[in-house]
Structure 1
């Protein structure tokens, strides 16, 4: 801070030359806490017009980012240079490349008091760095995300204030340093830029109609062909007239299948309502879809560690990352909209081999009790036992199934058990976990929202090969073969993140656009489009 004569001299001259802002900040940090109040001190000590009309009293009178930013610089103005102000304006415009709206970070028009203009410029600067680094929208407000206390590590990223102080000498560099370095963010940002820079041509809506199958003729085929060609799914010019113009042939069907796979639809070449909805989605809606997912990556940039199990809920995938690179992945079945898979971070703590299944209360009430009331033999056919609250087995004939009271249903381990041969457990308040499943055919579907909240993993035993040592994996495999229910503790607990993205770019640069099964995109987009304060 600007303190006493010796420090004032150090701020003016450092080693015979003009000190940079970074050197000033370093020098200030090393000094005693006594402050010589600079010209901006009055705005924080007692808010004055015109700044009090633009800034909340809390921003001026509490030690938040804005006041701390200036306190470290001795309450001296930092935007008096026209060159620096121009560079800040240009750098703020580039926020559009990250899906943020530059108009939400306005710089002040000329004001009678230049000190007030300086404060308003700093607010835009700090807001932009904060939003680019950690996200603009408060995550807990729109998409609550639970974190296990022992899974929260010190944030390795530089603080926003550190970025801001150092960035006074290199504004573009500060914004680049604030941006998440995750490959997933960088790839999605590139895809957003490519889509944003494409010419936005008006495309006709393809009308609804009967289910269209390969080999059929339909008057909508020319519009369908033109749409697929415009988006790069057809490598040959479409035939718009002639005898075959309305024929949905195999070449066109192959293009439709590629479109469907990229949009997380069943790649069967059948054109129904879901495929038509995806095809008729406007370019602006797709841009907005990428914007909300860039925001989700900004939220989670501090949660994704070098070694992480990552469940992509909307995409129905599990990916294991080691050293920041995808090492193993599998398809996943997640919760249906009425029973959503929660968003969380935790640590894998143990494995259950050949698990029994205690039916969760919701499934017991909504699914199992109606089936048992229809046919008491349902219990025998599904190898289920009835237990009281103390875990003692009951005779099903003695239970009043119209009002069964505080009972539990437990299914024995075996081929009919919905948890299969393995459960991967991690602490969380939702009682969800990863598990094997006998419902293997559902992995070929898309989207894969079939479960009651837990995450079913295709080929989950293969996960053991990458998270366990060779010796541990061999031992666990042998114990699974024996068929007994056993617990295996994981000594080196593995971070696991369950999160939600409706757009993703793989390591090959292929953009995948998903459905929004939980309807989370629209509320987030609305919040993202709302100006701060």
Structure 2
């Protein structure tokens, strides 16, 4: 009796779910159930057997809906079709999310079941790609995450988004997209460019450096190129070959918005940026949207964010920009790694222990050339246990397992302060005596660590006034000390070659580490 009552209740629940979801085609529901349970090859090649297997998102989606058909209502199916078209504005290809539009009059029951399953697969796949990226990040651009650095408030999972959005797929897609202002702004810029005409810009031949007030036969081409993108209004034809003040203003604006040294000199880097086609710039936005999707779960409400290609450090609180400063990052031969970690301490008046790569490639050649190098740079030689060694007793052609350590002071390359966080690369943020490098662009001069302009101003934004006052006193002592950070402070170091600045202007940079082409190729291959 109790078993019969339970069966009746279960049947009643299934009927209620079918009613609520609008599904009433019991033979079709049974075909879907059987396909998921026993006929996993029935929908090939459109749907691989692995996609239908349990456990899996597709199987779980139908299990949560009592295995009823999900896309038989015309309104629901139309809404899904429209929502899938909108992912083109995210740099994704709607063709990667196909729908089978065959209807009952021309299709077998099995074909109808496969069409419903295909629609759900495309729905889930689009949600997955919007929420986490089209590709696996680590296979393209490795990113290291410190243990315990995962966000304490993760975003909703794909299955939850899918279940909540069956009647409103566009809302589900909006919830899956990164809510980050940077992503939303870049998406809007991409959408505007994608929908407009893709113009061909005039190419400027290579040649000697173009300087303000100079004359050159390429000047009319330079003016035409800048005018084509709206940097320059029409120029009078009286002296078309002169690099005049009007053209200079346009060049300076172009350089500033392409991460170049804004000096008005048109050399190889500026020529490269000018000769990058409109199509390539659109693709540049596309790959950077993918990078933001990769990191959507890593960038928390409060985050220190280092943009490697942009040479910027930004501090966000509640997703709003609180502080921003220029940064010097690793040169292409010694790239700054991508990572997420948690700041745990400051080092005040730091000493500098020379990293092994710098010791091997930079310092040892200097010491061999100049016996007084160590004394002039206040460097001490230590054994692996930290005990001092006599430099004159070391064979510098084969020094063994030594440590070079530079004392704290005005010439120390770490300046007065270092911001530390766990990572396997021995990188950190730090001050620097080489302040002149911050006026350069691009700013890729370090051996991997990140130098910050105005680092004490950053501390004033990060820490309470009492802490800053104590830190100032300790700095004035000249002694090397550690100052713990006892609250959660995430740091993310990542790479973007396109961004929308705080002013609302789109900034397109030359690809410092030459990563865009590889990512673009991988995105194209994934769509085949």
For the aligned pair, the TM-score class normalised by the smaller chain equals: over 0.9
1:464–1:154: structure 2 CA closer, same or farther, 3 Å change rule?
closer
State whether residues 304 and 492 of structure 2, in contact with CA within 8 Å, keep that contact through their aligned partners in structure 1. yes
2:461 paired with 1:466: yes
CA distance in 2, matches of 1:364, 1:276: 36
SS of residue in 1 equivalent to 2:264? coil
> 2 CA distance for matches of 1:442 and 1:151?
32
The answer for the alignment partner of 2:52 in structure 1 is: 60
Structure 2 match to 1:497: 492
Aligned mates of 2:331, 2:33 — CA distance in 1: 55
Task: Give structure 1 regions of 4+ aligned residues with deviation exceeding 6 angstroms.
Answer: none
Match of 2:203 in 1: 205
Deviation at 1:466, TM superposition (A): 1.2
Is the 8 Å Cα contact of residues 261 and 267 (structure 1) preserved in structure 2? yes
Tell me the residue number matched to 1:340: 335
How well do the aligned residues superpose, as a CA RMSD in angstroms?
Answer: 2.0
Q: Using the alignment, how far apart are the partners of 1:93 and 1:257 within structure 2?
A: 38
The structural deviation recorded for 1:164 is 1.1
1:117-159 deviations in whole A, cap 9, x for unaligned? 1111111111001101111111111111111111112453221
Equivalents in 2 of 1:528, 1:302: separation in Å? 21
1:20 CA displacement: 4.7
Give 1:287's match in structure 2, choosing from 282, 285, 303.
282
Q: Distance in 2 between matches of 1:44 and 1:180?
A: 32
Q: 1:238 aligns with which of 213, 235, 238?
A: 235
* Alpha-carbon distance between aligned partners in 1 of 2:420 and 2:136, rounded to the nearest angstrom: 29
- Aligned pair partner of 1:304 in 293, 299, 306: 299
2:31 is paired with a residue of what secondary structure? Answer: coil
- In structure 1, distance between residues paired with 2:260 and 2:502: 21
Task: Give the corresponding residue for 1:30.
Answer: none
Q: Does 1:128 align with 2:123?
A: no
Any idea what the Cα deviations from partners look like across 1:96-130, whole Å, max 9, x if unmatched?
01110111111235354200111111111110011
CA contact (8 A) 1:355 1:485 kept: yes
Cα distance between partner residues in 2 of 1:166 and 1:327:
34
Q: Which residue of 1 aligns with 2:3?
A: none
- Secondary structure class of the residue paired with 1:339: coil
Residue 469 of structure 2: SS of its match in structure 1?
Answer: helix
Question: Is 2:433 the counterpart of 1:438?
Answer: yes
What residue in structure 2 maps to residue 416 of structure 1? 411
How many Å apart are 1:9 and its aligned residue?
A: 4.0
Residues 246-285 of structure 1 correspond to what in structure 2 (within 5 A)?
A: 246-285=241-280
What SS does the corresponding residue of 2:344 show, helix, strand or coil? Answer: strand
Q: Which residue of 1 aligns with 2:192?
A: 194
Aligned pairs, how many?
A: 513
Deviation at 1:373, TM superposition (A): 0.6
1:90 to 82, 92, 112: 82
Task: Kindly indicate whether residue 65 of structure 2 is the aligned counterpart of residue 73 of structure 1.
Answer: yes
Does the C-alpha gap of structure 1 residues 68 and 195 become closer, same or farther in structure 2, counting only changes over 3 Å?
same
Structure 1 residue runs of 5 or longer lacking an equivalent are 25-36
Task: Return the offset for 1:532.
Answer: 5.4
Per the alignment, residue 165 of structure 2 pairs with 167
Compare 71-80 and 208-217 and name the one that shifted more.
Answer: 71-80
1:510, 1:21 → 2: CA distance?
A: 47
Task: State the alpha-carbon separation in 1 of the partners of residues 509 and 361 from structure 2.
Answer: 29
> 1:75: how far off?
1.6
Q: Which residue of 1 aligns with 2:348?
A: 353
TM-score by length of 1: 0.92
Give, in angstroms, the shift of residue 188 of structure 1: 0.7
Relative to structure 1, is the Cα distance of residues 306 and 48 closer, same or farther in structure 2, using a 3 angstrom cutoff? closer
Determine the C-alpha separation between the residues in 1 that align with 2:335 and 2:114: 48
C-alpha deviation, 1:528, in angstroms: 1.8
CA contact 1:39–1:76 (8 Å) conserved in 2: no
- Judge conservation of contact 1:21–1:166 (CA < 8 Å) in 2: no
- TM-score, scaled to structure 2: 0.93
Secondary structure, aligned partner of 2:489: strand
Q: Is the 8 A contact 1:155 1:302 kept in 2?
A: no
Verify the 8 A CA contact 2:201 2:228 in the aligned structure 1: no
Q: Name 1:453's counterpart in structure 2.
A: 448
SS of alignment partner, residue 394 of structure 1: coil
Q: Among 105, 108, 114, which residue is 2:100 paired with?
A: 108
Partner of 1:217: 215
CA 1:527–1:346: 2 relative to 1, 3 Å: same
Structure 1: how far apart are the matches of 2:22 and 2:460? 52
Among residues 349, 373, 382, which one is paired with 1:378 in the alignment?
Answer: 373
Equivalent pair of 1:311/1:318 in contact (CA under 8 Å)? yes
Secondary structure in structure 2 of the residue aligned to 1:332: strand
